[in-house]
Chain A
Amino acid sequence: MSREILVCCGTGCLANGSQAVVDEFRSVGADMDVEIKPYIKKVGCNGFCENGPIVTILPDHITYYKVRPKDVGDILQSLGGEPVERLLYEDDNGKRVHSREENPFYATQLKIALRNTGIVDPANIEEYLQTGGYLGLKKALSMTQSDVIAEIETSGLRGRGGGGFPTGKKWRSCFQVESDVKYMLCNGDEGDPGAFMDRSIMEGDPHSVLEGLIIGAYAIGAHIGFLYIRDEYGLALTHVQAAIDDARERGYLGRNILGSGFDFDCEIVRGGGAFVCGESSALMASIEGKVGEPRVKYIRSVEKGLFDKPTVLNNVETLANVPYILTHGGAEYAKLGTEGSKGTKVFSLVGKVNRTGLVEVPMGVTLRELVFEIGGGIPGNGRFKAVQTGGPSGGCIPESLMDIPIDFDTLKEKGSMMGSGGIIVMDETTCMVDLARYYVKFLAGESCGKCTPCREGLRCMLEILNRICDGKGEMADLDLLETLSYTATQASLCELGKTAANPVMSTITYFRDEYEEHIKNKRCPAGACTALIEFTVIPEKCKKCGICAKNCPVDCISGDKNIPYVIDQQECIKCGNCKAKCPFDAIVSE
């Protein structure tokens, strides 16, 4: 029997050396008998990047993790027999599991947007076609434009880029505007720190995005489209370009698509790496060749968007859902999720959690399920503190709200947002003031600088947060932060400014005591704000081994085998290396 060996070649696994694994498979496999010679396939991201490179054997459904070139021989020898035990995933009970269904990270996931990612060869259109690719487009072209839109409306699909606007409604409004020229755009300018869902889809299944784009274009009556993809996403750019070329060759793009009489073509526009260009009007300005600054939204882009023509802009993940909805029907899709948020959502689960990676689950699962079941809880003996959802413009959700369902409306109600789906888990070593400072610093740098409340408001907020973290804050600073937040929220020109205060406001709401502790007692409870902590050796615990002194980058720890070690506080840069390296927990930070 001939087998398929799927080697994950998403950016994460490539960084872990999966290309060398592919090369090894190909060179060792070359000498094997034709009957048992496996087919080696490079596939997109499997989501469990920290355990990469990931290798899957089909049809046995055995998945190996952290595969190195030296393991290749063993894997090839084991084909058809007992799996290579040491490369299997060990579950929470210490059991080595064969298939993904048994792996707690994958077990409860439901993949729609990621349905082909990690399974098909993204560079091969044939494979996409074999999974039912472009059937959605064929079906759409046999329907009226209005019926296609109705199907999306029935599905309840909402924009996955952050806003959560109903996709069908957006398409309908643009469809109803009379214009000789309309544009269909795809937003692949994913910029949230720690978010990589769109990148993985573009890298691992570019045709699903493209098919979604073509269906959308047909529905609204656009003949030209652009995919705005950030330039840092090298592999995504390569794969999407190849997908466009292949689709054009097969007649899925160009004049008279599949004999329907509908013309549509598209091209890639590379984003220059500005976070704000993920905002719709700034993105359009950037495509037009102008400075990437947002404009006021009283005029909707479905009426006057790119080059002042009616335009629909959809996120990568939204478009990847579209072909599925057309093939399986909107009603089928609407069975998943909650009342207001249908379908599934891809999350990037990162931070202080045992299993990190890309996760697709139905809307409405609780944060607790996501963090503790799929994510496997907090590493070590750490205690869970909060999750940051929605990236830099999102907010923090504390432990007490862990049982809320994840959907657009609930998260917004709790002062955070769905955003593009970043979930950053934090334990008690994360200082919430420091966290707010981190995000405000990010946004102050990424603000386009056009309007005053965002540009200057963030600058002043950052100064205040710096003061608080340095132990120089006053209680009046909290009121000032609230005033600045209110002004940014109400008076900013675009969504970046309007949501920029979320990390500050949500941490003040849920973790006010931490702010007060910094201000009143000049103490950082999490031990993270370096200006407020000191590393000291507890003499009774010190075994005088000298490991701390060896690891100190500024040589400020002295002592010898007779005297307990002492840290010179004047010289200490508070890097925490000594504490991390001490085998006896004799160093504390307070």
Chain B
Amino acid sequence: MRIQIDGIEIPAMPEDTILQAARREDIFIPSLCYSDPTEPTHSCRICMVEVVEGGIGRLVASCAYKVKDGMEILTDTKRVAQIRRTMLQLMYAEAPENPAILTLMERYQVASEPQFSNKDGQCILCGLCVQTCKKLGSAAISTVSRGTTKEVNTPYGNPAMSCIGCASCANACPTKCIEVSDSEEGRTIWNKKFDWARCEKCGAIVGTTKHYALANGMEPIICPDCRQRGITDLFAATLGE
């Protein structure tokens, strides 16, 4: 199957969304809430493009819209540009001075709108953290409340029982707004304190104790380096015999 993005013909696979096909061919379409391994949320809406079918252009979210053979897609029409501009201004108001948003604003030459009042957070509620946590099996965080008061939080804002402190949510976050505080003593995330799991041989940190236990059960804590060295030593000993 072949599709056309801004006049460039690229191959696509039958179940692809426009965004997936574009990314595979290194064609840039802005997107903040989409990540291949997790269930899509289709929430940030910055990836809007125009699909031309039967001579008529239609605005669609490229992360959700499936490709069809011969489909013609335009990523920089007047309508797309207008929506992208307003969306970036809205995101700027929601997460002022956030580097991820600023980068996109610079790329598309968008200035912030002074008439929109700025919020004091950095989260754009894309929900990628929630999907990541769910995918990894913990589901410790969720979106809470609705409308303009919506936020991502743990149940009732208390430390979540199922949180293992893996910080995958923070890694997935496109605006890097999830606070992870690491020190010698341990890690604090989502109001919960975690002890470090340290390698029994060299003392290196291999993650939080809860994270390690979930992945390795009751096995002794050995860091990847020491594990590797152990195998090498074993080989050497065997060869030496």
Contact at B93–A460, with CB atoms within 8 Å?
Answer: yes
Instruction: Pick the residue among B44, B65, B91, B148 that contacts A459 (CB under 8 A).
Output: B148
Q: In the complex, which residues of chain B have a beta carbon less than 8 angstroms from the beta carbon of A291?
A: 142-143
- B150 interfacial by beta-carbon distance below 8 Å: yes
Contact at B45–A493, with CB atoms within 8 Å?
Answer: yes
Which of B46, B83, B115, B147 neighbours the largest number of chain A CB atoms within 10 Å of its CB?
B147
- A1 interfacial by beta-carbon distance below 8 Å: no
Q: In the complex, which residues of chain B have a beta carbon less than 8 angstroms from the beta carbon of A458?
A: 147-148
Given A291-B143, A444-B147, A444-B148, A450:B87 Cβ within 8 A: no
What is the distance, in angstroms, from A464's C-beta to the closest C-beta of chain B? Answer: 7
- A484 interfacial by beta-carbon distance below 8 Å: yes
Instruction: Pick the residue among B41, B48, B146 that contacts A491 (CB under 8 A).
Output: B48
- Binary interface profile of B, 106-139, with partner A (CB < 8 Å = 1, else 0)? 0000000101110000001101000000000000
- B238 interfacial by beta-carbon distance below 8 Å: no
- Please, how many angstroms separate the alpha-carbon atoms of A445 and B41 in the complex? 21
Contact at B115–A451, with CB atoms within 8 Å?
Answer: no
- Please, how many angstroms separate the alpha-carbon atoms of A274 and B149 in the complex? 14
Instruction: Pick the residue among B91, B113, B115 that contacts A452 (CB under 8 A).
Output: B91
What is the distance, in angstroms, from B19's C-beta to the closest C-beta of chain A? Answer: 13
Q: In the complex, which residues of chain A have a beta carbon less than 8 angstroms from the beta carbon of B61?
A: 296, 491, 493
What is the distance, in angstroms, from B111's C-beta to the closest C-beta of chain A? Answer: 14
Residue of B nearest to A294 (CB): B42
- Binary interface profile of B, 70-108, with partner A (CB < 8 Å = 1, else 0)? 000000000100110011001101100000000000000
Residue of B nearest to A474 (CB): B115
Given A456-B91, A480-B115, A491-B83, A451:B146 Cβ within 8 A: no
Given A451-B44, A452-B91, A490-B59, A445:B115 Cβ within 8 A: no
Contact at A298–B64, with CB atoms within 8 Å?
Answer: yes
Which of A274, A445, A448, A490 neighbours the largest number of chain B CB atoms within 10 Å of its CB?
A490
Given A464-B115, A480-B115, A491-B87, A455:B147 Cβ within 8 A: yes
- Please, how many angstroms separate the alpha-carbon atoms of A464 and B90 in the complex? 14
Q: In the complex, which residues of chain B have a beta carbon less than 8 angstroms from the beta carbon of A480?
A: 113, 115
Instruction: Pick the residue among A276, A452, A453, A487 that contacts B146 (CB under 8 A).
Output: A276
- B145 interfacial by beta-carbon distance below 8 Å: yes
Contact at B147–A447, with CB atoms within 8 Å?
Answer: yes
What is the distance, in angstroms, from A70's C-beta to the closest C-beta of chain B? Answer: 47
Contact at B65–A483, with CB atoms within 8 Å?
Answer: no
What is the distance, in angstroms, from A561's C-beta to the closest C-beta of chain B? Answer: 51
What is the distance, in angstroms, from A281's C-beta to the closest C-beta of chain B? Answer: 11
- B43 interfacial by beta-carbon distance below 8 Å: yes
What is the distance, in angstroms, from B82's C-beta to the closest C-beta of chain A? Answer: 7
Contact at A487–B87, with CB atoms within 8 Å?
Answer: yes
Report, as a range, how many residues of chain A touch the other chain: 35 or more
- Binary interface profile of B, 145-160, with partner A (CB < 8 Å = 1, else 0)? 1111110000000000
Contact at B44–A452, with CB atoms within 8 Å?
Answer: yes
Residue of A nearest to B59 (CB): A490
- B2 interfacial by beta-carbon distance below 8 Å: no
Given A445-B147, A493-B45, A453:B87 Cβ within 8 A: yes
Given A450-B43, A450-B127, A452-B45, A490:B79 Cβ within 8 A: yes
- B66 interfacial by beta-carbon distance below 8 Å: yes
Contact at A295–B42, with CB atoms within 8 Å?
Answer: yes
- A50 interfacial by beta-carbon distance below 8 Å: no
Q: In the complex, which residues of chain A have a beta carbon less than 8 angstroms from the beta carbon of B60?
A: 298
Instruction: Pick the residue among A448, A452, A476, A486 that contacts B90 (CB under 8 A).
Output: A452
- Binary interface profile of A, 455-497, with partner B (CB < 8 Å = 1, else 0)? 1111110011000000000001100100110110011110000
- Please, how many angstroms separate the alpha-carbon atoms of A493 and B45 in the complex? 8
Instruction: Pick the residue among A295, A298, A449, A483 that contacts B143 (CB under 8 A).
Output: A449
Q: In the complex, which residues of chain A have a beta carbon less than 8 angstroms from the beta carbon of B117?
A: 460, 463
CB within 8 Å of B: which A283-302 residues: 291, 293, 295-296, 298
What is the distance, in angstroms, from A549's C-beta to the closest C-beta of chain B? Answer: 40
Contact at B147–A456, with CB atoms within 8 Å?
Answer: no
Contact at A490–B83, with CB atoms within 8 Å?
Answer: yes
- Please, how many angstroms separate the alpha-carbon atoms of A459 and B66 in the complex? 31
Residue of A nearest to B47 (CB): A491
Residue of B nearest to A464 (CB): B115
Contact at B148–A455, with CB atoms within 8 Å?
Answer: yes
What is the distance, in angstroms, from A291's C-beta to the closest C-beta of chain B? Answer: 6
Residue of B nearest to A449 (CB): B150
- Please, how many angstroms separate the alpha-carbon atoms of A389 and B130 in the complex? 38
What is the distance, in angstroms, from B184's C-beta to the closest C-beta of chain A? Answer: 38
What is the distance, in angstroms, from B216's C-beta to the closest C-beta of chain A? Answer: 31
Residue of A nearest to B94 (CB): A456
- Please, how many angstroms separate the alpha-carbon atoms of A295 and B39 in the complex? 12
What is the distance, in angstroms, from B104's C-beta to the closest C-beta of chain A? Answer: 13
Contact at A447–B42, with CB atoms within 8 Å?
Answer: no
Q: In the complex, which residues of chain B have a beta carbon less than 8 angstroms from the beta carbon of A491?
A: 45, 48, 59, 61, 83, 87
Instruction: Pick the residue among B87, B116, B146 that contacts A446 (CB under 8 A).
Output: B146
Q: In the complex, which residues of chain B have a beta carbon less than 8 angstroms from the beta carbon of A457?
A: 86, 90
Contact at B146–A449, with CB atoms within 8 Å?
Answer: yes
Q: In the complex, which residues of chain A have a beta carbon less than 8 angstroms from the beta carbon of B125?
A: 449-450, 452, 455
Given A445-B147, A447-B148, A452-B91, A492:B45 Cβ within 8 A: yes
Q: In the complex, which residues of chain B have a beta carbon less than 8 angstroms from the beta carbon of A492?
A: 45
Q: In the complex, which residues of chain A have a beta carbon less than 8 angstroms from the beta carbon of B66?
A: 298
Given A445-B147, A446-B146, A456-B93, A451:B86 Cβ within 8 A: no
Contact at A298–B147, with CB atoms within 8 Å?
Answer: no
What is the distance, in angstroms, from A103's C-beta to the closest C-beta of chain B? Answer: 42
Residue of A nearest to B91 (CB): A452
A-B contact pairs, 25 of them (CB 8 A): A296-B64, A298-B65, A298-B66, A445-B146, A445-B147, A446-B146, A447-B146, A447-B147, A448-B146, A449-B145, A449-B146, A449-B147, A449-B148, A452-B91, A452-B94, A452-B125, A453-B83, A453-B86, A453-B87, A455-B125, A455-B148, A456-B91, A460-B117, A477-B115, A492-B45
Closest 7 pairs (CB-CB, A-B): A449-B150, A456-B90, A487-B86, A296-B64, A491-B45, A447-B147, A460-B116
Known A451-B42, A483-B82; 19 more pairs at CB < 8 Å? A444-B147, A445-B146, A448-B146, A448-B147, A449-B125, A450-B125, A450-B127, A451-B45, A452-B46, A452-B90, A455-B125, A455-B150, A456-B94, A463-B115, A487-B82, A490-B59, A490-B83, A491-B45, A493-B45
Interface residues of B (CB under 8 A from A): 41-46, 48, 59-61, 64-66, 79, 82-83, 86-87, 90-91, 93-94, 113, 115-117, 124-125, 127, 142-143, 145-150
